[in-house]
Amino acid sequence: MALVVAKFGGSSVATPERIKNVASRLVRRHQSGDQVVCVVSAMGDNTDYLLDLAHAVNPNPPAREMDMLLSTGEQVSVAVLAMAVEALGVPAVSHTGAQVGIITDNTHTKAKIDRIVGMDRLKSDLDDGNVVIVAGFQGIDAQGEITTLGRGGSDTTAVALAAAIGADYCEIYSDVDGVYTADPRICPKAHRLERLSYDEMLELSANGAGVLQLRAVEVACNHGVVIHARSSFILDSPGTIIEEAPDRMNPDRMEGVVFAGIAHDLSEAKITLRHVPDTSGVAACVFERMAEIGANVDIIVQDVSHEGMTDISFTAPLDHLDLVTEVAAALCKEINAEGVEVNPHIAKVSLVGAGMKSYSGVAARMFRTLSDKDINISMISTSPICISVIVDADDCAAAVQALHTAFGLDEEGEPGSVKVVL
């Protein structure tokens, strides 16, 4: 008997038929002897509908009221799913985030989970033979205010609950059947990975792979929660397991680079502050100002100083672009910079692989591959297991496909077997 947390996304519960399908899955698990906690997102596009509704009545709705509104989507899902499970003859009980004691900070619309204090109640429900269904995406702060966790927050809810209750593993069900070596929609030769390490999944999620929310993977890594990413629509799909350190190296090679995949991200823009005075404290001032407005700055490049002036470029999310541009323009006047240039038409393409730092030639092959396709690189960022480049958005698909081939990922099988000579 296993204790399992299973999360189903909005597409998995978008219709009554799909809700019944999820209920059947939960009942089968329960009847097999497992204790099941199910975390559910809002039905289908319900969150988008509520967002549109809010902005139809107020172009700048208060964050507190947005949380009050958006949290209702998951409450509908858990109640209806509990009814569907009961209809199949298995007792079920639904809970809001507040009812299971998900305590967050007080940052409305993008709160962070502080602690979970309601595990006694949840365990009691399980011991009584119930399937327990919990609303994802939401919690409550220390003052009793309803909060939400931001886009994809139900993944974080599920992993956090799995950590708090000591689940054997956490299953994340979505409309894809696992993590792929690249997005199959733009790279036909991409294939599903059987296993990934936390570090690899963190890099893939941070760089655009949308299968798992980055925060959820961070929680899993910090608390040792094994994640199993699976399909809602393929019964018994093998999916992808994310864990501490999967053994997938080539047995014929003790050391080597294990390439996990190619991620891409079209959700960022490039902002450049031109002719910035190259003096102490200027960079600190720029990025302190970005932090004040909550802009998640990604890649940063400062050019070589010339005659006491330099350019500072960085990437930031498109959904913050108007505010970032406004603040950057005001800042340029304060620090006597020439002005701001904005390029919203970019893509970040990232090669992820364990062992890259110990091997020369990875970056050279990556850049040569892109050069041979006449793809220009405007920014570069590296980590021990990832190299990211900024290219024109129109070149994104070609870059992903070329790198996927160049690094041996077109072949089926675990990445440890790739035949790439560096």
Which CATH superfamily does the domain covering 249-422 fall into? VC0802-like (3.30.2130.10)
- For residue 375, the number of C-alpha atoms closer than 13 Å in the C-beta half-sphere is 27
293 Cβ contact partners less than 8 Å away, ≥ 6 residues apart: 320, 323, 324, 327
Q: Which residues of the chain have pLDDT under 70?
A: 246-257, 412-422
Res 419: pLDDT: 39
Ranges in the chain annotated CATH 3.40.1160.10: 3-175
Q: Are the beta carbons of 278 and 305 closer than 8 angstroms? A: yes
Cα separation, 339 vs 349, whole angstroms: 27
Cα separation, 65 vs 51, whole angstroms: 11
Ranges in the chain annotated CATH 3.30.2130.10: 249-422
Q: Report helix angle 46-57 to 63-87, nearest 10.
A: 150
Res 176: pLDDT: 87
| Fold classification of 3-175 (topology level) | Carbamate kinase (3.40.1160)
Res 245: pLDDT: 72
Res 145: pLDDT: 96
Alpha-carbon Rg for the chain, nearest whole angstrom, is 23
Q: pLDDT over 70 for what percent of the chain?
A: 95
Res 306: pLDDT: 85
